[in-house]
Amino acid sequence: MVSVASTVVVVLALAGGEGALAGASKAAGQGNFSRPFTEPEINGKKTDKICIKHDDHEHGENEHGANHGRDCKPTAGSMTVLASGDVLYWNALEGTENIVNGIGGEFANLSINDQSRVLDLDPLSWRTPTPSDGGANPKGGKPDELYPGSASKEPFNDGALFCSDHNLLADGRVIAAGGTMYYDEPPGQVELQGLENTRIYDPVTNEWTQTDDMKFGRWYPTMVTLGNGDIFIASGVKKLVKPVYTSRPSASGRNVIETETFDPGRNKWSYNGASADRSLPLFPRLHLLPNGDVYYNSAGQTWNPFGQSYDEATWNVAATYDPKKKDWTNVGVPGLGTPQPGFRGSTFSVMLPLTPDKKGRYNEAEFLSGGGTMGTSPGGYVATPFSAISTVDTSRQGTSLSSRPTGNLNEPRWYSTAVLLPTGEVAAFSGADRDEVIAPGSGFAINRAELFNPKTETWEPVAASKQLRTYHNTAALLPDGRVLVGGHAPITTLYGNNTTLPGGFSPNDGRDPSFEIFSPPYLFRGPRPEISRAPEAIDYGRRISIVVDTPASQIDSVVLVRNTSITHLVDGDQRNVELEVLRRAGNTVTVAAPPNGSVAPPGQYMLFVNKKTGEGPVPSVSEQVVVGR
What is the DSSP code string of 494-539?
Answer: GGSSS-PPTTTPPP-SS----EEEEE-GGGGSSPPP-EEE--SEE-
- Would you list the DSSP string of 285-311? -EEE-TTS-EEE-SEEB--SGGGG-TT
Nearest to 609 by CA among 573, 575, 578, 563: 578
**Residue 6 pLDDT greater than 60, yes or no:** no
d(CA 160, CA 154): 12
- Per-residue pLDDT, 25: 58
Prior bond of 595 cis (ω within 30°): no
The pLDDT of residue 308: 75
Average pLDDT over residues 507-527: 96
Helices vs strands, H then E, count in the chain: 3, 47
75 vs 246, more confident: 75
pLDDT of 67 reads 46
Average pLDDT over residues 224-252: 94
The average pLDDT across 392-416 equals: 93
Say if residue 571's pLDDT is above 80: yes
Tell me the pairing of strands 198-202 and 483-487: unpaired
DSSP characters over 292-360: S-EEE-SEEB--SGGGG-TTGGGGGSEEEEETTTTEEEEEE-TTTTSSS-S-EES-EEEEPPB---TTS
**What pLDDT score was predicted for residue 255?**
95
Q: Say how many CA atoms lie within 13 Å of 114 toward its Cβ.
A: 27
Q: What tens digit of pLDDT does each residue of 155-175 get?
A: 999 999 999 999 999 999 999
Residue 307 has a pLDDT of 72
Supply the DSSP string of 143-200, one letter for each residue: ---SSTT-S---GGGSSEEEEEEEEE-TTS-EEEEEEEEEEESSTTSEEEEEB--EEE
> Which range, of 183-187, 275-279, 424-428, 607-611, averages the lowest pLDDT?
183-187
Q: HEC string of 369-434?
A: EECCEECCCCCCCECCCCEEEEEEECCCCCCEEEEEECCCCCCCCECCEEEECCCCCEEEECCECE
Q: Where are the domains of the chain?
A: 79-277, 530-627
Q: Over the stretch 334-370, which tens digit does the pLDDT of each residue have?
A: 999 999 999 999 999 999 999 999 999 999 999 999 9
Sequence-separated (6 or more) residues with CB below 8 Å from residue 266: none
Q: What is the pTM of this model?
A: 0.94
Q: Within a 10 A sphere around the Cβ of 374, how many other Cβ atoms? A: 18
At residue 65 the predicted structure's pLDDT band, cuts being 50, 70 and 90, is very low
Confidence tier at 20 by pLDDT (50, 70, 90): very low
What's CA 338's distance to the chain center, in Å?
Answer: 26
- Are the C-beta atoms of 528 and 546 separated by less than 8 Å? no
Distance CA 277, CA 258 (A): 5
- For the chain, what is the radius of gyration of the CA atoms? 23
Q: State the pLDDT at residue 158.
A: 96
Residue 622 — φ and ψ, nearest 5°?
A: -85, 160
pLDDT computed for residue 24 by the predictor:
57
Measured distance CA(574)–CA(125) in Å, rounded: 26
List the CATH code of the domain at 530-627.
2.60.40.10
Does residue 110 have a pLDDT over 80?
yes
Half-sphere exposure of 389 (CA within 13 A, CB side): 20
Report residue 60's pLDDT band, with 50, 70 and 90 as the boundaries.
very low
**463 or 395: whose pLDDT is higher?**
463
* Distances, alpha carbon 210 to alpha carbons 130, 158, 183, 221, 241, in Å: 12, 15, 22, 18, 27
Q: What is the pLDDT of residues 276-305, one digit of tens each?
A: 999 999 999 999 999 999 999 999 998 777
pLDDT at 139 over 80: yes
Predicted local distance difference test score (pLDDT) of residue 449:
98
Q: From residue 552, how far is each of 242, 512, 521, 561, 589 by CA, in Å? A: 61, 44, 23, 20, 6
- With a cut of 90, say whether residue 236 has pLDDT above it: yes
Residue 262 has pLDDT above 90, yes or no: yes
pLDDT of residue 534: 98
pLDDT bracket for residue 188 (50, 70, 90):
confident
| 459-512 pLDDT tens trace | 999 999 999 999 999 999 999 999 999 999 999 999 999 999 999 999 999 999
Percentages (nearest 5) of helix, strand, coil residues in the chain: 10, 35, 50
Handedness of CA 96, 99, 103, 107 (dihedral sign): negative
Strand bridging mode 174-184 / 190-194: antiparallel
Taking residues 531-541, what's their average pLDDT? 97
What is the average pLDDT across 1-8? 35
The answer on pLDDT for 429 being more than 50 is: yes
Q: What is the structure's pLDDT at 9?
A: 34
Residue 157: φ, ψ to 5°: -135, 30
Q: What integer best gives the mean pLDDT of the chain?
A: 92
